[in-house]
Amino acid sequence: MLLEGKVSIISGIGPGLGQELAYVFAREGSDVVLAARTESKLKEVATEIARLWPERRTLIVPTDISDRVQTKRLVDATVAEFGRVDVLVNSAFLPPQFTMFDEANFDDWKRSYDVTVFGTLQLTQDVIAPMKAAGKGSIVFVNSMIQLKPLPGQSGYATTKGALTVAARMLAKELGPFGIRVNSAFMGWMWGPPVQGYVEAMAAATGRSTEDVIADITKDIPLGFIPDDSDCANAAAFFASDLAKVITGGELNVNGGEFMC
């Protein structure tokens, strides 16, 4: 198991990648601290982990990461329960409304930045002290292909992720001397509830079959299929694991080859 004996905080637990991160980390041996605003979803994921991996410990901490009091409470609760924080996976985000830039509502953007950027960075800042005390740690930023392969209408979302890219690089430089690694995984299309819902909505709106909508997506993916969100979660587990102990400042494309650099 890649993460045996580790304690991992995962933000943004929800349908799709968020819950799959929790399942993959539990499968690979980590105790998991589940954070998101919706307590019922946290309980659902914790129940599934208990069913599949009863030896894993879970801690549920409902958290709005845009509230600095709540991010500190999350980290404090983790240390109180487990004595340390080995891994932080920053998966929480709030995209602004998808519009063309000249129609953007910047109040909407600010709310997105409060969660995706400042909330993520506040939570990251809060885990640094216990990681420094331990002399090690791994921070994984879940990023997006959107800032690498721009699509019209998604400038707000892309700029939030762009800010996190730069932040992760700076943190890798600053925290490396303390044994804390910081890496980013750039996700593309991921098959799970959100993308399935998108495909079904597009099919209904255009009168096309779901197969045609999927084919329009996969034509740009060399592997020929939409990667499953659980497979994408494996990339975060790799960065969190000791297999990546000499990797920091890394930026890994996890998108079936749709974007290559």
Q: What amino acid occupies position 260?
A: M
Both tokens of 238, joined, read: 């790799």
DSSP the chain: -TTTT-EEEEE---TTHHHHHHHHHHHTT-EEEEEES-HHHHHHHHHHHHHH-TT--EEEEE--TTSHHHHHHHHHHHHHHHS---EEEE----PPP---GGG--HHHHHHHIIIIIIIHHHHHHHHHHHHHHHT-EEEEEEEEGGGTS--TT-HHHHHHHHHHHHHHHHHHHHHGGGTEEEEEEEE---BSHHHHHHHHHHHHHHT--HHHHHHHHHTT-TTSSPPBHHHHHHHHHHHHSGGGTT--S-EEEESTTSS--
Round to whole Å and give the CA distance between 133 and 114: 28
Look up residue 190 and give its amino acid: M
Residue 64 CA to its chain's centroid (Å): 15
- Residue 157 annotated as catalytic: yes
Q: What angle do CA 141, 245, 35 make, to 5 degrees?
A: 35
Query: Active-site residue numbers?
Result: 157
